[in-house]
Structure formats: structure tokens, C-alpha cells
Amino acid sequence: MKVVVQRVSQASVDVVNELGTIDPTFEPQQIGSGFMLLVGVTDEDGEEQLSWLAHKILNLRVFEDEQGKMNRSIKDIGGEILSISQFTLFADVRKGNRPSFVKAGKPEHANITWIKFNEALRSGGVPVREGRFGTHMRVGLINDGPVTITIDTDNL
């Protein structure tokens, strides 16, 4: 799994339908202070990767303490998470100009793994809102810092 973690003061997502308008079947999601996550899954990812990654994100100390140092976790600040499935994190652009996505997980596996990952985050006591898997989404955020960190479970 690969995740781009962005510390945000706010973030939101809505879904665009085939007509290019906001999909009325999806309730737009919004969070305040916390993390906006872009989450990529491969076919090799399973319980070990998602558990490790959820633990790492829930305990990542990138929020400022009273002395202005990055020393507090999302749990410490009572933050929220907006999780967005993002297969393009596995784009391979080494050859040609059109990215290859062969390393991205097959949709069935990736969706189930992403849902379980979000559940693992919730079980850590942090509210998690989600985009909609496999759809055209519009994501907005205010990156706070900016703080952007990438985490790859290949580095376990």
C-alpha cells in the first residue's frame, strides 16, 4: 500500500456523475483539522500491510504541541480523516508518456482492502469520512504547513 498523508485544516470530496455534474446519490464529505489520505492498494496488500499502515498513521506525530514542535498525533488533537482511494499512486511513467497502472490492485481487491483500512483507522478512535471507490471525485483541501508525507508498506 502507498499513502500520501496531508495534514489539513479542512478537506472535502464530492462525486461527479457521467454528465459532469455533482452526483446527487453521494453526500459530499467534509472534515476539519486532521488528515486527507490518498490511498493506493496493490494485489499483494492484505491485513499485515493495512494494520501496520493504520497504526502508523494514527500515531504519526505531525501536529504541533504547545512549543510549536510536531509532537502530537491525530488522536491527540481529536482530528478527523478523509480517505480517498487513489490507484494512480502506482503509476509507472518510466516508458513513454502514458502512465501504466499495472501495479495497482484489481478493483475488487483494492476496494475491499481500502474499506478494511478505513475500518482499522476508525477502530483507533478517529472519525473517518470517505470518497467513493472507482468514481470521478473532486477533492478540495487546505494543506496545513504544508505537511505532506508519503508512506509505502514496501518499506516494512
Q: Please tell me whether the overall predicted TM-score, pTM, comes out greater than 0.75 for this model.
A: yes
Q: Is 135 an active-site residue?
A: no
Active-site residue identified among 6, 29, 49, 87: 87
Q: Kindly compute the dihedral angle of the four CA atoms of residues 92, 149, 53, 30, in this order, to the nearest 10 degrees.
A: -100
pLDDT of residue 156: 77
Mean pLDDT by 10 residues, the chain (156 residues): 98 94 95 98 97 98 96 98 97 94 96 98 98 96 97 89
108-129 per-position pLDDT tens digit: 999 999 999 999 999 999 999 9
Q: Is 87 an active-site residue?
A: yes
As its CATH architecture, domain 2-155 has: 3-Layer(bba) Sandwich (3.50)
Q: Is 88 an active-site residue?
A: yes
Interacting residues of 54 by C-beta distance below 8 A, sequence separation 6+:
117, 120, 121, 123, 124
